[in-house]
Amino acid sequence: MPMTMSRARVARRIATAAAFGGGGVGLLGVAAVGVLLTEVRLARRTVGGSSDIPPCADGRYGAAFGHRTDRPPLRLGFLGDSTAAGQGVHRPSQTPGALLASGLAALSELPVDFRNVALPGAQSDDLERQVELMLADDTATPDVCVIMIGANDVTHRMAPAQSVRHLSEAVRRLRAAGCEVIVGTCPDLGTIEPVYQPLRWVARRLSRQLAAAQTIGVIESGGRTVSLGDLLGPEFEARPRELFGPDNYHPSAEGYATAAMAVLPTLCASLGLWPEEERPEPARGEGLLPVEQAAAEAASEGGTEVTSRAPWALLKHRRRRQLPEPEPTDPSSVTG
């Protein structure tokens, strides 16, 4: 609990600095940064990095549902970095966007038009460009957008307040356009297999601090968050050969499926499609908490959803469902 409260205080400081245009909030001393940079150079010799172009999964999913209804297709947009783009796998059906589009189609029984503007290597300051692309056609505004961002902000030492500010602005713009927004917060970088101590400890601390601060910014901008870090952490550590891809950095197909299963309930709930009450179940460790406390707890427990219930935040642990296998898409069905 003391660790959670400490993380909550730091996350609130970062989010406050972001809201008022402040600079970075220092999380490490000069000596620690020096150790971190030394370890990063060593880690780069063993951690892979994929230059492959992620497979394009844009198109229509659940097209068969279109023959059963006259309702228009749902529109799902994806923004973010290489994880959002699906880097590390070779088939469109293995990307998190395709998995979520297929799951959304199955649960809504409607076709889903999917579009991905995520960019491998992107930091949060690229979100402004991505939002412009996503909203360029005002006749095809997404019903819901998923953003996965943050890892590159940590590894490139972007000031946390700057990172949160860019993300919060992106969420506000998408919400103003009528989109529901779900953010998969910064993953736990301490799970990368070839990274050793003390970098592993530092990377974990920095990524969790950023994830908590992201949650505060997103919630106060009208979005929802799902924590990916600790969800994938124990599983990646226990089965790195299965959940990491060939480059030892990006998730494998099974790793992406694990992340997608965590996001799907929140994605559907944002559209009123998930068969669970929008209220806390205390027996499942859910509750209404101060925003910064909910953010800190979510950063420590993966798969946790945080949603605004102003002036509080609702902490939820939604039950997951197996994702359906994505079928071939019709790329011509999505424009822009």
Cis peptide before 194 (omega within 30 of 0): no
What pLDDT does residue 242 have?
Answer: 45
What pLDDT does residue 111 have?
Answer: 97
What pLDDT does residue 127 have?
Answer: 98
Q: Which of 58, 81, 82, 166 is catalytic?
A: 82
What pLDDT does residue 188 have?
Answer: 77
The one-letter amino acid code at 78 reads F
More confident residue, 17 or 176: 176
Residue 106: pLDDT over 90: yes
Q: Which of 143, 188, 250, 270 is catalytic?
A: 250
pTM: 0.86
Residue 195: pLDDT over 80: no
Q: Tens of pLDDT along 239-278?
A: 554 444 444 456 777 888 888 999 999 999 999 998 877 8
In sequence order, the β-bridge partners of residue 308 are 313
Residue 61: pLDDT over 60: yes
Q: Tens of pLDDT along 19-41?
A: 766 554 444 444 555 555 455 44
Q: Which of 50, 52, 125, 247 is catalytic?
A: 247
In the residue annotation, 250 being an active-site residue is answered as: yes
More confident residue, 168 or 242: 168
What pLDDT does residue 252 have?
Answer: 75
Q: Return d(Cα 117, Cα 56) in angstroms, integer.
A: 10
Q: Tens of pLDDT along 295-321?
A: 999 988 888 999 999 899 999 988 777
pLDDT, mean over the chain = 81
In the residue annotation, 82 being an active-site residue is answered as: yes
In the residue annotation, 168 being an active-site residue is answered as: no
Residue 113: pLDDT over 70: yes
